[in-house]
Every structure is written in structure tokens, then in C-alpha cells.
Amino acid sequence: MTPTLTPHSDVDLFADPVLEDPYPTYRTLRDLGGAVHLARLDAWALTRYDAVRGALGDWQTFSSSAVALNEPVNEMLVGTVLAADPPEHDVLRSVLADRLGPRAVRSLQADIATRAEALVEEVVARGEFDAVTDLAAAFPFAVVFDLIGLPDDARPNMLRWADATFNVCGPMNDRTAGGLLVVQEMFEWVATLKAGDLLDGSMGRAIFEAAEAGRIRPESCIPLLAAYATAGMDTTINAIANAVHLFAQHPDQWDLVRADPALLPGAFNEVLRFDAPVQVFGRRTTRVVDVEGTEIPADSQVLLLYGSGNRDERHYADPDRFDVTRAPVDHLTFGYGTHGCAGQALARLEAHAVLGALAARVHRLHVGEPKRHLNNVLRGIESLQVHGVELDR
């Protein structure tokens, strides 16, 4: 390997200023190459759309055994659905898909829509509210908590635990170190759960039933339960928060969605493309592989930069423009292929319900400056004050 010929960078992708707005840094990296060696991490960032998508579609070469960007957490994740490769992965996945797949969640649609209408009605009537804590976080939290069937004593801790679970998937920095203590606390609690602690008929109970039926090993129950609980909250929360923020910033785009509700699914895809809640996950190369002319050695840590691929001008024209008519169904935000987000049907259902309820009532949202929430992996907002609501006219 000749360093002068290999695209490389000294940037710290996880420094606060980069997390605040990673897109200029992503562009610099994309212009260096589809694969860029990051000196600080001794890891390879895949930066362009085709490179990220290609790696997601090739689990044989890009193993999920390094889905986190540090080894202690990768060791913790051995045997989980997130970090497993086929065939082990497929068994765990099928247990989740039974309850989370589109066929299963169709029956939830009416209830989720009703709950979204009620919550939106309530916050809009107040006129002033926090679009994150009162709406974007409150809704998925309530829906997902009930679907998993978790006991109430987890309520005060669940969001803190979920946030930490994503933080520790970053490199070994201060955020990861702090998150590890919180994740340990979560696992100590989750490990005490027995089948009878989960609501009858819930998704959580179904995991224990799969173990009783011999589909999965009993020791897989707790990690699957933790995966449900953490992956189903912060992701959807940040997606809805980012959506409210983007539509408040781009009233012309909001008008388009309001004028034609059929645009809503495509518009939500554009929200997901524009600000991916999960910005990065890792992989490990199982062999030497050429990515857009750059040779990555075997056994290398790779970063899949979803947020960069989604803004790749080689794939999306004028990528920094928020345009709901683009309807980019092939964005990278849910991943793709073997590990494609198992909860995406439910996430879409929740987001369409909340945004649809807002679109039916609200002409304009007047918001303050968002307070960003910094996390190694997630891109989201901690707080977004709504100062005023102009109702339908």
C-alpha cells in the first residue's frame, strides 16, 4: 500500500463540530475517494453511495462482526442479530420479522393512526410545545413500549439506555466510555426479565415463545429484547424530529405535502435521505477488497457512512436540497439487504401517522433554533421549541 496513492484523512468524524454538521466533512471525504483511510481510527470510511450500497449488499466480504467501531463492544455484540452474519443472522431475523414485517404491522395501522391524531390534536391545541419531547419522542416511545410489552419500571430509563446503546457503537471516545456504563446498567435490568414480565401477546413475549419452541437459543432472548427496545425508539424519534424541523424550515415543501397527501411516503423518504437518524455503522472485511480503485486489506474496520452516501452528488442531483418530490426510495438510511432495518415498516407507519395528522391540521409551524443532540452514531435533535401554530385555512 502506497500512502500517497491511497485516499486518506486525519479528520475526527466524531468530534463535536463535525457531529453538529457532518455534511461538509462528508463532501471532502467523498471527493477524496469512495473509500478513504481514516488515520485516527486506522479504519476505512466508505463515503459514496455506490460504495456503501455495494458493501451492504455483500455480507460475505463486509461482515457485521465489526458493526461497532470498537472491539470491546463488538465482543459484547457477538450472537446478536445486529452483529451476526448468515446463517445465524437469518434465524434471529425471522423471529423479529414475524412481528415487525409489513404483513404483521398492517393490523396496527388503524390504532397507530388514532393515537397519532389524538397526540397531534393535543399539542397543536396548546400552541406552544417542544416538537421533540412532546411529539417526536413521546409518540414512538408510547407505541413501541406497548408493542414490546415491557414492564413500566423501564419507562424512566429507556430513552437514556437507547441513546447509550447507539453511542457505544462509535469509536472508543468519551461518549462511548460514558455510554458503556449506561449500557451495562440496561443489560443488568433486561437480564432479570422473564417471559411472564412481558405483556401477553406482545412482541417481547413472542421472543420467549420462539425460544420455548426451539427456534432460537434461550440465551438469544435478552439480546433480541434489547435490540427491539433500543433500535425501535431513538431511530424513529430522530426521524420524526428531523421531519418536523425540515418542514418548518421549508414551508414550500410542507405546502406540497399538504396539497397532495399521496406525496407523504416519498416526502418521508426524502427526510430520511436528507438527515439519516443512523449516520454510520461498521463492518469488517473478510478479504482484500477493491472499492472504487482503493484496495482495503482483509480484517479491516470499515465505516459505512450512510449520511454521506445519501448526499452523494454522484447519485442524487443537487443533494443538499430538501425536495419532497425527489421521493428517493433507494436511500441508505434503513441499510439494505441482509441487515436492512427490520423495523422499517413500523417506522414508516408511525411517521406517516404523525406527519399525516400534522399535515391535516397545521398550515405553518413557527419554531426556534433546534438544539442538536450529539451521539456517535445518531443524528437528531434534543429540543425544538414550537412558538406558534397556524392552523388550517
- Which positions from 59 to 98 touch other proteins by CB under 8 A, shown as an x/- string? -------------------------------x------x-
H runs (alpha helix) in the chain: 16-20, 23-32, 49-56, 71-76, 88-100, 102-105, 109-126, 138-148, 158-167, 174-190, 203-212, 221-231, 234-249, 251-259, 264-274, 306-309, 344-361
**Angle formed by the axes of helices 251-259 and 264-274, to 10°?**
150
Among 72, 293, 340, 388, binds other proteins (CB under 8 A): 340
Residues 244-303, interacting with other proteins (CB under 8 A): none
- What are the φ/ψ torsions at residue 194 (nearest 5 degrees)? -115, 165
Report in angstroms how near the CB of residue 328 gets to other proteins at its nearest: 10
Is 327 or 374 the residue whose CB approaches other proteins more closely?
A: 327
Instruction: Tell me if 143 contacts other proteins by CB under 8 A.
Output: no
Q: Which is nearer to other proteins, 344 or 375 (CB)?
A: 344
Residue 252's CB: how many other CB atoms inside 10 A? 9
Q: Identify which range of 1-9, 36-44, 328-336, 356-364 contacts other proteins by CB under 8 A.
A: 328-336
Q: Collapsing DSSP states into helix, strand and coil, what is residue 368? A: coil
Name every residue whose Cβ is closer than 8 Å to that of residue 377 and which is 6 or more positions away in sequence: 166, 167, 169, 170, 278, 279, 280, 281
Taking CB under 8 A as the rule, does residue 110 contact other proteins?
A: no
CA distances from 346 to 64, 112, 202, 327 (A): 23, 10, 15, 19
**By the rule CB under 8 A, 102 interacts with other proteins:** yes
Least separation in angstroms between residue 107's CB and other proteins is: 10
Size of the site for other proteins (CB under 8 A): 17
11-to-38, 47, 102 alpha-carbon distances in Å: 7, 13, 40
Nearest residue to 137 via CA among 66, 67, 215, 242: 242
Q: Which stretch binds other proteins (CB under 8 A): 63-71, 229-237, 318-326, 340-348?
A: 340-348
- Choose one: 138-146, 316-324, 338-346, 363-371; the region binding other proteins (CB under 8 A): 338-346
Q: What are phi and psi of 352, to 5 degrees?
A: -60, -35
Interaction between residue 125 and other proteins (CB under 8 A): no
C-beta closer to other proteins: residue 247 or 334: 334
Options 100-108, 113-121, 188-196, 228-236: segment touching other proteins (CB under 8 A): 100-108
CA distance 85 to 69: 17
5, 31, 103, 142: residue in contact with other proteins (rule CB under 8 A): 103
C-alpha grid cell, residue 203: 412482541
**Which residue of 8, 15, 28, 101 would you call a contact of other proteins, by CB under 8 A?**
101
Tell me which residues touch other proteins (CB under 8 A). Answer: 57, 90, 97, 101-103, 106, 329-330, 334, 336-338, 340-341, 344-345
